[in-house]
Amino acid sequence: MAWIQLSSPHSHNRVTTDQVMRQVVIATLPGIATLTWFFGPGILVNLILTISSCLLAEALVLKLRNRPLTVLKDNSALVTGILIGCCLPASTPWWIPVLGGSFALLVGKQLFGGLGQNPFNPAMAAYAFLLISFPVQISIWPAPATPLSDTSWLNSLAGSDALTGATALDAWRNKGLLMAEEFWQADGYLSSQMVTAWASVASAWLVGGLYLIWQRIINWQLPLTFLATLFIAGSFVWGFNPSHQIPPWLHLAASSAVFAAFFILTDPVSGATSLKGKVFFAIGCGLLVISIRTWGSYPDGVAFSVLLMNFAAPALDYYTRPRVYGQKQARKGLASKEKS
């Protein structure tokens, strides 16, 4: 009689990686819906393009590496595609999402050995690449409208840039010497629709994020730390010069912050791995974002902050190890060299 031989444990809770990824996909739906509502089906077109280019690129690499295509079922390429798609403006030319999706998968992920091996967040790597290479195409959003009744998005797809609008942070950057009050009152800079649109989108991401926390896909500490850092550091900078610095609420409402807090920073692969490390990771990202927004030359800095902190993640891991049961204190740093 042949018995099956297996190592313990013989029991497993039924959550698998593809299920985790599926939950993430579900959590992005409110955000996607809101984006589409305000900026038109261009968002969906972008998503279709990024997702298909991600899946195709992954399939291609798997073929080249002689790996089974079933790996695609882990849904991670799908998630990467969605995350890039959500960052791109609705009116961007078709080749931008295709390029972004392929770059994320090929350079951001598979070049390093696939799922679990990539040191950088693939979506952010791709976004940063696009931002540096095509700053114009990637920064111009169509003016928000009450879509589905409006056909202006068709024009934007056709390449007309007549109906573009600046995002809040862009507008702020371009306000020049205007005082804050004047800025808000001035018409040409930032439409109130734009503000409403982005605030709604941010809330939609928040809903999705809370869903993830509820489903225990992500922990609450990381997003909270990030948003809190943004708010506190933002207030601090703003306190010095309220008339020229971004008000803290705008730091949070500018769509990228909430989205990043729940969907980008929480990428487990490229972040710090221990809980304590994650908290430091979030603080670091928050401070970098504020610095870039305040002193940098890019209006938004989430992508760069995340990538920079990805660099720091291994060091964070070494210095934030928990105190193991029975140890007087936590060990820090690298293994002492004389041991090896």
Partner 1 sequence: MLDTLRLTNRRFHGGIHPPENKLQSSLEPLRELPLPNEVVLPLGQHQGQLAKPLVEIGEKVKTGQLLASTTVATGACVHASITGRITAIEDRPLPQVSGLSLPAIVIQREGEEESFTYPRYDNWQETPNEQLLERIQTSGLVGLGGAVFPTRTKLAGALEKGIETLIINAAECEPYITADDCLMQTRPAALLEGIGLLIKLLQPREVLLGIEDNKPQALESLQKALPGSGLEEQLQICVLPTLYPSGGEKQLIQLLTGKEVPSGGLPLDLGILCHNVGTLAALADAVIRGRPLIERIVTITGQAVSQPGNYLVRLGTAIETLLQAAGWNQDKHQRLILGGPMMGFTLPSAQVPVTKAANCLLLPTEEELPLPGPEQPCIRCGRCEEACPAQLLPQQLYFYAAHQVFDQAEEHQLFDCIECGACAWVCPSEIPLVQYYRYAKGEVRQLRADAEKAEQARLRFEARQERFEREQAEKEAKRQARAQAAAKLAAAQKAKQEAKTQQEPQTQSEQASSEPDVQAALTKKLKQLKTAKAASSVAVKKAEKGLANLKAAADTTPEQLSEQEAKLAKAKEQLQKAEQQLAEAEAGNTPAAAQPAPEVKPSTGNPEDPAKKLKQLKTAKAATAVAVKKAQKTLDNLKAAADSTPEQIAEQEDKLAKAQQQLQKTEQQLAEAEASGQPAPTAAPGQPTATPEDPAKKLKQLKTAKAATAVAVKKAEKALSNLQAAKDATPEQIAEQEEKLAKAREQLTRAETRLAQAEEE
Residue 264 Rama label (left phi>0; alpha psi -120 to 50; beta): alpha
Q: Which stretch binds partner 1 (CB under 8 A): 114-122, 126-134, 282-290, 294-302?
A: 114-122
Helix (H) or strand (E) holding 44: helix 42-64
HSE-CB for 168 with a 13 A CA cutoff: 26
Rounded CA-CA distance 36/82 in Å is 13
| Distances, alpha carbon 125 to alpha carbons 60, 119, 135, in Å | 20, 10, 14
Exactly one of 63, 69, 117, 135 binds partner 1 (CB under 8 A); that residue is 117
Rounded CA-CA distance 250/263 in Å is 19
Query: Based on CB atoms, which residue is closest to partner 1, 173 or 276?
Result: 276
Q: What angle do CA 148, 77, 73 make, to 5 degrees?
A: 110
Interface with partner 1, residue 6, by CB under 8 A: yes
Exactly one of 269, 282, 288, 307 binds partner 1 (CB under 8 A); that residue is 269
**Interacting positions 220-249 with partner 1 (CB under 8 A):** none
Query: Based on CB atoms, which residue is closest to partner 1, 300 or 317?
Result: 317
Interface with partner 1, residue 192, by CB under 8 A: no
Interface with partner 1, residue 339, by CB under 8 A: yes
**Interacting positions 12-71 with partner 1 (CB under 8 A):** 12-13, 15-17, 19-20
Query: Based on CB atoms, which residue is closest to partner 1, 9 or 176?
Result: 9
Interface with partner 1, residue 4, by CB under 8 A: yes
Looking at residue 243, its amino acid is S
Other Cβ atoms within 10 Å of 330 Cβ, number:
13
Q: Which residues bind partner 1 (CB under 8 A)?
A: 1, 3-13, 15-17, 19-20, 74, 76, 114-117, 219, 268-269, 271, 273-275, 278, 317, 321-328, 331, 334-336, 339-340
